[in-house]
C-alpha cells in the first residue's frame, strides 16, 4: 500500500495508526468526512497493537486479550471509506495544515482542514553506562520483534527497569518459550509510599488485577531483584556483563542481552515542529502538549490524541482518538455529529480509562540517577556526547539545549533528539539550578525524519516556485 495519497486535500488527516489514530480515522470517516490516515509502519497497530493484522503469534493467550482488542479497531476502520497509507513518513506539518509525506521514495503534499496527531509515545531514554553497546536494547524493541516476527530472547537475558510494560513483556517472552535470566526492578522504594494515597483509584481500575496476575506469573519463573539503585552494562564491542547494586550490594552477571525500560514519553517531534505549545509535566517527567478537553492544541486545526497528548495508555488513547475526531466532525459537519457517541459519554469513557494513572505515574516515576547521568555515560547516542561533555559546555556558557547544539551537536544527529532530548533538558536544568520548563527543549524543525536531497529535488515545481529562487 505504498501509493501516494489519492487527493490533494482532505477534511481530516490522521497521523499514526496506533490505538488513537485507528479510532480517530474510523470516527471521522464514519461521519462522512474525507479522511486520510498516514502511518510509518508496515501495518496498522502502532506499538501496542504492533503487527495486529500480520503477527505470526497465533495462540491468542500468548499476547493476551488486551492485544487482540486492536483487531476490532482495525476492522472498524476497514469498514469505513478512510484512505489508509502505510510506510508513509510525514516529514513536515505546519500551521497552515500543509503536510509533506514521503511514500515509496517520493514526497507528496496534502492539505487538511483538521489534523489529528496520533504519533504516540517512545520509550524514555535510559542513559546508563554501556547503553549503546550491541546487545542492549529497549524492552519495547524486544516486544516489537516478538509481536511482528515471533522472535524471543535466546541467550542470557536480563530485563531492567520498571513499569507495566516491563512485566507484560516478561510474561509474553516466557509464554513464547523465550529466556529471561533475571529481572532488575529499579522502582524507588520511596515511590511505594508516595503512590499510596492514589492506590484506591488504581484498585478499582482494570489494570490492577491484570497487573498483579502478570507479576505473579513472571515471579514464579524468574529471579526478580528489587530495589536496584545502580545499573551499568559493559563489554568490548558487545554486551558481556550487567552490573547492579541492590540493598547496598554490588553484583555483576554475564549477559548477552539487556532489555531496558523505564516508561514511555510522548513522541513530540512532529507536534513541536508544527509549533504546538508543550509544557514540562513534573509528574510524568516529560514534555506534554497544551490541549483543551477535545485535544485541540495551541495551533488552530491541530488536535493531538493518544499517548502523544500525555501518557494515558491504550484504552485512553482510543477514547482520546474518538474525542478528537468527534470535535473535528462538530466543526466541519455538525449535522453528522449526531450519529456519533456523545461528547459527554466519551468524556465519561476517558475518565474510566484514565483511572489509576496517577498511581502508576507516581509509583513508576523513574529515579534521578537513571534519568540524569554523569561522567563518561553517553547522553546523545547519535553524536556520541557524554554527560561530562554537556556539563563542560554548561561551564563555559551553554545555557540550554539549543545553545548546546552549537557546542556539541547534541540532538543534531539523525534521531533529532528523540533519544537525548529529555536527558539534556534535565541535565542542564540540574547543572544550572533551573526547572526543565525554564531550560526548555530543542527547537524542532521539518524535516522531522531525514529524507534524501534527491527526493526533495524531485518534488514537482510550479513556474512561481522556480521564479522565486532563480535570478534573471
Partner 1 sequence: MFRRSEQDKRPQVEIFVDGVAVAARQGDTVSAALLASGRDARRSTAVSGAPRLPYCMMGVCFDCLVTIDGVGNRQGCLVPVAEGMQIEIQKGKREIGK
Residues engaged in binding partner 1 (CB under 8 A): 40-42, 47, 51, 54, 56-59, 87, 89, 122-123, 132-138, 140-142, 144-145, 148-155, 176-178, 237-238, 256-257, 267, 381-384, 413-415, 418-419, 450, 452
- Please state, in angstroms and rounded to a whole number, the distance separating the CA atoms of residues 323 and 337: 11
The nearest distance, CB 149 to partner 1, in angstroms, is 5
In terms of CB distance, is 12 or 264 closer to partner 1?
A: 264
Residue pair 298/272 in contact by the 8 Å Cβ criterion: no
Q: Considering beta carbons, is residue 222 or 270 the nearer one to partner 1?
A: 270
User: 201 burial class (0-12, 13-18, 19+ CB within 10 angstroms)?
Assistant: middle
Give the span between the Cα atoms of 344 and 33, in whole angstroms: 22
Half-sphere exposure of 123 (CA within 13 A, CB side): 23
Of residues 58 and 462, the one with the C-beta less far from partner 1: 58
Rounded distance between C-alpha atoms, residue 344 and residue 342, angstroms: 5
CB of 414 to partner 1, least distance (A): 4
User: What 3-state DSSP class applies to 38?
Assistant: strand
Nearer to partner 1, 151 or 234 (CB): 151
* C-alpha cell at position 270: 512532529
Find all residues with CB under 8 Å of 450, minimum gap 6, and list them: 414
User: Which residue, 122, 130, 89, is CA-closest to 107?
Assistant: 89
- What is the smallest separation between the CB atom of 362 and partner 1, expressed in angstroms? 26
Contacts of 399 (CB under 8 A, 6+ apart): 432
Closest C-alpha among 142, 111, 86 to residue 7: 111
Q: CB of 7: closest distance to partner 1 in angstroms?
A: 25
Rounded alpha-carbon distances, angstroms, from residue 263 to 39, 83, 266: 23, 32, 11
CB of 169 to partner 1, least distance (A): 12
CA dihedral 28, 32, 35, 37 (to 10 degrees): 50
> How many other C-beta atoms can be found within 10 angstroms of the C-beta atom of residue 18?
30
Nearer to partner 1, 120 or 356 (CB): 120
* CA gap 58, 61 in Å, rounded: 9
Closest separation in Å from C-beta 452 to partner 1: 8
In angstroms, give the least distance from the CB of 135 to partner 1: 7
Closest CB to partner 1 among 87 and 347?
A: 87
Minimum distance, C-beta of residue 299 to partner 1, in the bound complex (Å): 23
Based on CB atoms, which residue is closest to partner 1, 349 or 383?
383
CB of 323 to partner 1, least distance (A): 25
Min dist CB 154 to partner 1, Å, is 4
Comparing CB distances to partner 1, the nearer of 238 and 252 is: 238
Rounded to whole angstroms, the Cα distance separating 270 from 392 reads 30
Scored b (16 or more CB within 10 A) or e, 431-456 reads: beeeebeebbbbebebbbbebeeeee
Smaller CB separation from partner 1, 136 or 429: 136
Give the CA-trace dihedral at 184, 357, 202, 210, to 10 degrees.
-60
**Nearer residue to partner 1 within complex by CB, 292 or 384:** 384
Amino acid at each position: 500500500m505504498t501509493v501516494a495519497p489519492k487527493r490533494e486535500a482532505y477534511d481530516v488527516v490522521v497521523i499514526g495508526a496506533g490505538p488513537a489514530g485507528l479510532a480517530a480515522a474510523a470516527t471521522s470517516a464514519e461521519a462522512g468526512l474525507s479522511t486520510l490516515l498516514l502511518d510509518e509502519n508496515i501495518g496498522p497497530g502502532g506499538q501496542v497493537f504492533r503487527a495486529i493484522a500480520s503477527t505470526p503469534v497465533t495462540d491468542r493467550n500468548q499476547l493476551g486479550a488486551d492485544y487482540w482488542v486492536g483487531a476490532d479497531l482495525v476492522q472498524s476502520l476497514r469498514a469505513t471509506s478512510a484512505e489508509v497509507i502505510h510506510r508513509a513518513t510525514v516529514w513536515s506539518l505546519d500551521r497552515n495544515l500543509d503536510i509533506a509525506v514521503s511514500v515509496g521514495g517520493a514526497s507528496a503534499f496534502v492539505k487538511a482542514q483538521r489534523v489529528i496527531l496520533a504519533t504516540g509515545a517512545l520509550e524514555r531514554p535510559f542513559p546508563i553506562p554501556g547503553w549503546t553497546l550491541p546487545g542492549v536494547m529497549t524492552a519495547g524493541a524486544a516486544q516489537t520483534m516478538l509481536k511482528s516476527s515471533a522472535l524471543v530472547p535466546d541467550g542470557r537475558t536480563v530485563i531492567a527497569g520498571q513499569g507495566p510494560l516491563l512485566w507484560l513483556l516478561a510474561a509474553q517472552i516466557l509464554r513464547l518459550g523465550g529466556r529471561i535470566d533475571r529481572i532488575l526492578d529499579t522502582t524507588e522504594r520511596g515511590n511505594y509510599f508516595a503512590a499510596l494515597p492514589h492506590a484506591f483509584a488504581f484498585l478499582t481500575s482494570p489494570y490492577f488485577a491484570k497487573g498483579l496476575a502478570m507479576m505473579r506469573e513472571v515471579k514464579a519463573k524468574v529471579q526478580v531483584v528489587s530495589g536496584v539503585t545502580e545499573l551499568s552494562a559493559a563489554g568490548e564491542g558487545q554486551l558481556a556483563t550487567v552490573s547492579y547494586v541492590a540493598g547496598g550490594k554490588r553484583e555483576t552477571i554475564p549477559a548477552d542481552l539487556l532489555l531496558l525500560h523505564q516508561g514511555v514519553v510522548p513522541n513530540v517531534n512532529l507536534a513541536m515542529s508544527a509549533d504546538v505549545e508543550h509544557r514540562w509535566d513534573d509528574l510524568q517527567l516529560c514534555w506534554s502538549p497544551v490541549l483543551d478537553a477535545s485535544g485541540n492544541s495551541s495551533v488552530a486545526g491541530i488536535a493531538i490524541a493518544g499517548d502523544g497528548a500525555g501518557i494515558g495508555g491504550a484504552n485512553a488513547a482510543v477514547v482520546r482518538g474518538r474525542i478528537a475526531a468527534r470535535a473535528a466532525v462538530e466543526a466541519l459537519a455538525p449535522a453528522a455529529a449526531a450519529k456519533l457517541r456523545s461528547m459527554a459519554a466519551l468524556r465519561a469513557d476517558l475518565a474510566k480509562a484514565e483511572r489509576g494513572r496517577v498511581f502508576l505515574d507516581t509509583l513508576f516515576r523513574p529515579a534521578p540517577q537513571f534519568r540524569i547521568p554523569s561522567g563518561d555515560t553517553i547522553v546523545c547516542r547519535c553524536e556520541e556526547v557524554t554527560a561530562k561533555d554537556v556539563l563542560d559546555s554548561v561551564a563555559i556558557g551553554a545555557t540550554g539545549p539549543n545553545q548546546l547544539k552549537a557546542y556539541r551537536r547534541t540532538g543534531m544527529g539523525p534521531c533529532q533528539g528523540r533519544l537525548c532530548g529529555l536527558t539534556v533538558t534535565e541535565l542542564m536544568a540540574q547543572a544550572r539550578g533551573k526547572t526543565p520548563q525554564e531550560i526548555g527543549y530543542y527547537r524542532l524543525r521539518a524535516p522531522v525524519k531525514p529524507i534524501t536531497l534527491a527526493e526533495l529535488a524531485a518534488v514537482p515545481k510550479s513556474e512561481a516556485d522556480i521564479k522565486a529562487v532563480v535570478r534573471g
